[in-house]
Structure formats: structure tokens, C-alpha cells
Amino acid sequence: MTSNKHVTQLNINASALEQNLNFFKSRIPSSTKILVVVKAFGYGSDALKVASFLKDKVDYFAVAYAEEGIALREGGIETPILVLHPQFPSMEEIAKYHLEPSIYSEDLLDAMLDYCASHCISEFPCHLKFNTGLNRLGFAPSETDKVLAKISDSKRLKVLSAFSHIAASEDLNEKEFTLKQISTFKSIADQLDAALPFAPIKHMLNTSGILNYSEVAAFDMVRLGIGLYGFGNAPIYTQNLKNVVSLHSVISQIHEISSGETVGYNRAFKAESPVRTATIPIGHADGYFRAFGNGKGYVYINNQKAAIVGNVCMDMIMVDVTTIDCSEGATVAIYKNQEHINDLAQRINTIPYELLTAISQRVGRNFG
């Protein structure tokens, strides 16, 4: 149990986590390695607890920044950790904590080579990121020869893996573009295998990629992110996954609102008839978006929907419980399951990733 005594708590189901991992393993060849992405506090859950639970079940972890990897190392995680977006000022810590940086640009490559030379380091473990169409980070395919020449000449770096990222793996309308990305990466992989003293691990598929392209692009490893937490980016896949995260709170106070009275900041809600409202201790400071106000969002109380009344406050929301039999102290499901989270995300034109990763660290976490 967490030591955080805030009554608003995020529950993380370890059994569901493992079942989802096994589902994705069933989609790839048995020889293909699994990298689990635990950036952004494990997609808003608890990165260290997730990694501790999975450390003997997967081959790699990935984080966005060095500080996230350091937290895992200090928590006892010894599994290899890929840093997807390393910042050069963090190089001392990356080396100290045996993290493995992704190198994605010539400037970063030159800086890494200089760092290794100045510290008399040979074969520093690293990963090469190639841009095949996402246009976010990565070497252009045309830079491959130049990159290989610099690495081969120095002997300072050891390339453990090479990878790329599919831009629209969840959208089968973009299949032609995706297959072109895969083909481009295969050509890069052939160049690497021919030039390097050993074949690095190749990986390209994220959650949706595993579901839609594992037959043609599983390569040596896949990167599992949002799918681990129960979301397959399409109903047909999500229904096969177990719900991992649920967010709960309690009713702090119940109010009887007379006709003509208003509720909340800016008097955004005005009762046209008597209304019963419940106040719940979660707000936009906890990652419950202000956009859910005025009826766009809803919670579950006694398995019944209760719509948000008025504006979302920093620390509280008010919901309509006029037709719900409940009392102060009753449990409230803020995020009940995948269906609930997906629906809420659609209501404010966003995606489940944003709802999950926004959950504040002041909200307690329970893992088990």
C-alpha cells in the first residue's frame, strides 16, 4: 500500500499488467525481445513499481529522460534501460547509472564521441535512432554511412540497437506509408549489419505496431507502451486487454441546491430545479482537466453516472447526484475502466495517454 493518505487513489492491477504483457508476447515470435516503456511515471501509474514487477519478465525498459532512468536504478532496477531522448548535460549521470542513450543527431553523436574520448571510455553502450517518416527525432537514412564511419573510426561507442518509430501504426488507412517506413528501416538495418562488428538489435514496433505489423516488422525487439496498461488504440484490441488502472475518490460533502442557486466558480451552473450535488476531492491540479466541467465529464457512484456540475476547481469537482442514493464518504470511480477513460478522452477531443499521464503525483498509488 502507498503511504500517501490522500483519499483520491490510483489503483494499478499487477495481475492485469502481466496478462496484458502475455497477450502482446503471444503476438510476436518467441525469439523477439520485449522492451517495456515506463516513461512519464509509467504512463501515469508508478514506473518503479511497474518495473520492479516486470524486471524478470522483460528484456529492456525505456524512459524519455535520464532522470527517469536514474529513479529506476536507485530503486534497484538492474535491467538495461534505454534513454529515448537524452540531453547532453545529463551525460555524467547517464554514465554513472549505466543508462543507454539513444543517439539521434550528428551534434549529439559528436558530443558523445568527445565525451568518451575525454573520459578514456571505449565501447560506451548506445542506440541509434533513425527517422523514417515520423520527423520527430532521428538520423536521416542518407546519414547512415556518415554515422557508421564516425562510430567505426573511433571505437568509442558500442551500438546495442538501432530503431525507428512508425508514424501511424494504429491507422490502417496509412498502411502504404507504414510499409514504406518499414522497408526504409530494413535497408538501414542491412547497412548496419554489413558495417558493424556485430548485428545490433533492431526494433520499430510500438503497441499498435505489434498489433498490426508484427508479421512483417517484429525484428529483434518490440516496444510495448500504452498496451501494457490496457489500451490497444482500437476497440477490437482493447477488448482483449485487462483493465490495469482505475482512479477512485470519495464524496466529501453533499449539498441541496435550490432552484435558482448556482454552483462553483463563475456561477457556471444555475439550478433550474432543486438539485443534489456531491463534492469530490479531485481537480485540475490532480490532472482532472477543466475541460470536463459543465457536464462533459462524469464519474460513477454506486455504478451510476454522475455528471460534473459547473467548472472543475483546482482541488475539487461537484457532480449531480439528484437521482443517486449515496452519502458522504461513499466511493467514487473517477476513471472506472478502459471504456470510461476512452469515452472521457473522446468527449474532450484527446486520447487516453493524456488522461493517464496527467494524473498528479499527489494522488496516491496502490499497486497489487
Check which CATH number belongs to the domain holding 347 and give it: 2.40.37.10
Q: What CA–CA distance (Å, rounded) separates 247 from 359? A: 9
Domain total in the chain: 2
**57 and 162 inside one domain:** yes
Residue 236 domain flag: no
Contact 365, 45 (CB under 8 A): yes
**308 and 330 inside one domain:** yes
**Domain boundary, last residue among 231, 256, 286:** 231
* Beta bridge pairs of residue 128: 103, 162
Mean pLDDT of the chain: 96
Query: Does residue 279 have a pLDDT over 70?
Result: yes
Q: pLDDT (tens digit, 9 = 90+) per residue, 63-88?
A: 999 999 999 999 999 999 999 999 99
Rounded to two decimals, the pTM is 0.94
**143 and 39 inside one domain:** yes
Q: pLDDT (tens digit, 9 = 90+) per residue, 7-38?
A: 999 999 999 999 999 999 999 999 999 999 99
Residue 256 domain flag: yes
Residue 7 domain flag: no
**60 and 179 inside one domain:** yes
**108 and 204 inside one domain:** yes
* Beta bridge pairs of residue 367: 12
C-alpha cell at 264: 462553483
Q: Is 176 exposed, middle or buried (0-12, 13-18, 19+ CB in 10 A)?
A: exposed
**Domain boundary, last residue among 207, 231, 255:** 231
Q: What CA–CA distance (Å, rounded) separates 251 from 334? A: 11
Q: pLDDT (tens digit, 9 = 90+) per residue, 198-256?
A: 999 999 999 999 999 999 999 999 999 999 999 998 888 899 999 999 999 999 999 99
**22 and 110 inside one domain:** yes
pLDDT of 3 reads 57
pLDDT of 6 reads 86
**29 and 102 inside one domain:** yes
Residue 239 domain flag: no
Residue 2 domain flag: no
**253 and 143 inside one domain:** no
pLDDT of 5 reads 74
**227 and 256 inside one domain:** no
Residue 207, domain CATH: 3.20.20.10
Q: Which domain holds residue 286?
A: 245-367
Residue 323 domain flag: yes
Q: What CA–CA distance (Å, rounded) separates 155 from 349? A: 49
Q: pLDDT (tens digit, 9 = 90+) per residue, 259-276?
A: 999 999 999 999 999 999
C-alpha cell at 2: 502507498
**Domain boundary, last residue among 186, 203, 231:** 231
Phi, psi of 98 (to 5 degrees): 55, 45
pLDDT band at 61 (very low <50, low <70, confident <90, very high): very high
pLDDT of 154 reads 85
pLDDT of 2 reads 42
Query: Does residue 302 have a pLDDT over 90?
Result: yes
Residue 207 domain flag: yes
**261 and 355 inside one domain:** yes
Residue 305 domain flag: yes
Query: Does residue 280 have a pLDDT over 80?
Result: yes
* Beta bridge pairs of residue 82: 62, 100
